[in-house]
Amino acid sequence: MEIRSAKKVARRQAILKWLSPLKAYDQHERIRRLHCEGTCEWLKIHPAFQQWLSSGSSLLWLSGDSGVGKTILASEVVELLQGNPRADLLGYHYFDSSMTHTLTAHTCLGSILRQICGSLAGMPKCIEDAFDEAREPSGEKRTLSTHALERLMVDVLEHEAGTDGKCTYIILDGLDESGDLDIVAAWATFLSENLHFRAKIFVSCQPNWLLRPPFKSCIPIAVTEDETRSDIQLYIRQRLGNDPRIRNWDAKLQKSVEETLQHNANGMYVNIVLLQPRIVHRIDFPFRRCKV
């Protein structure tokens, strides 16, 4: 009995790895380490986000310029859904130009399918059959095509929605960085527009005219400076509070640096990351010389 159980576990792991070698959770955890406690709350209470959560199949498009914190917001949505007590399905993917293997539709689909199948008590029969049929004469497994992954995704979601009435949440961040933007956008739109899949798609990326036609019926949220103002303030305070050089400064000087960063951030976290070291060094260098 133990041997049979061990073989079943080994087969399950082999199937999941065959679907995708990408460790999505590791990528998610690296992003979460950049999250500042108390930020992103505005999104969770936004009327459009609440509409997306409460609706049936739908697509929400969170758009904003580079550096406004879209990836952190997407990761916060993942965290929120992971804490959902309901037995819904979840898959997420971060397109990252610094990790070129994440930029294809094939990697995205395979990773999400792996996450969804990995969360199910039993492996879907269509996945098991595809795994067995992919065996080459040499014993190696043939890699699934992007089209085959799309077809299997549809089969799995259709089965889960029809059998157990489960919703599937799919979070896609940085779609504009993908060279397969059109393929992923068409697939996401197809799932969200077919109500029987019970699929809720969340896309976060920069405004892109190529996405306007397929996303014409989406629920839109634009990330503006008004939305991020309080988050930027919290982020600045956290960064300054974690900088040991600033602890020796008086409160008035610390407040001045905070206000300077807030004024020059223009709603973008990336500006804070670039500006803080320069400002702190400019003040701290003569400060240390005076102490000497």
What is the overall mean pLDDT for the chain?
A: 88
- Kindly indicate the confidence band of residue 19, based on its pLDDT and cuts at 50, 70 and 90: very high
Q: Give the domains, in start order, of the chain with CATH numbers.
A: 2-223 (3.40.50.300), 226-291 (no CATH)
Lowest pLDDT segment from 46-55, 79-88, 224-233: 79-88
Sheet bearing 89-94, strands edge to edge: 89-94, 168-173, 199-205, 58-63, 219-222
What pLDDT digit, counting tens, does each position of 231-287 carry? Answer: 888 888 888 877 777 777 778 887 888 888 888 888 788 788 777 777 777 775 544
Closest CA to 181 of 201, 209, 154: 209
| pLDDT surpasses 50 at 292 | no
Contact assessment for residue 205 and residue 173, using Cβ atoms and an 8 Å cutoff: yes
pLDDT of residue 225: 82
Lowest pLDDT segment from 2-6, 78-82, 191-195, 241-245: 2-6
Q: How many helices (H) and strands (E) does the chain have?
A: 12, 5
This prediction has a pTM of 0.89
Give how far Cα 243 sits from Cα of 12, 229, 254, 276, Å: 46, 22, 11, 10
- Kindly indicate the confidence band of residue 87, based on its pLDDT and cuts at 50, 70 and 90: low
Average pLDDT over residues 81-97: 86
Contact assessment for residue 127 and residue 156, using Cβ atoms and an 8 Å cutoff: yes
- Bridge partners, residue 72, by sequence: none
pLDDT of residue 284: 58
Q: Rounded to an integer, what distance in angstroms lies between the CA atom of residue 103 and that of residue 26?
A: 17
pLDDT of residue 195: 83
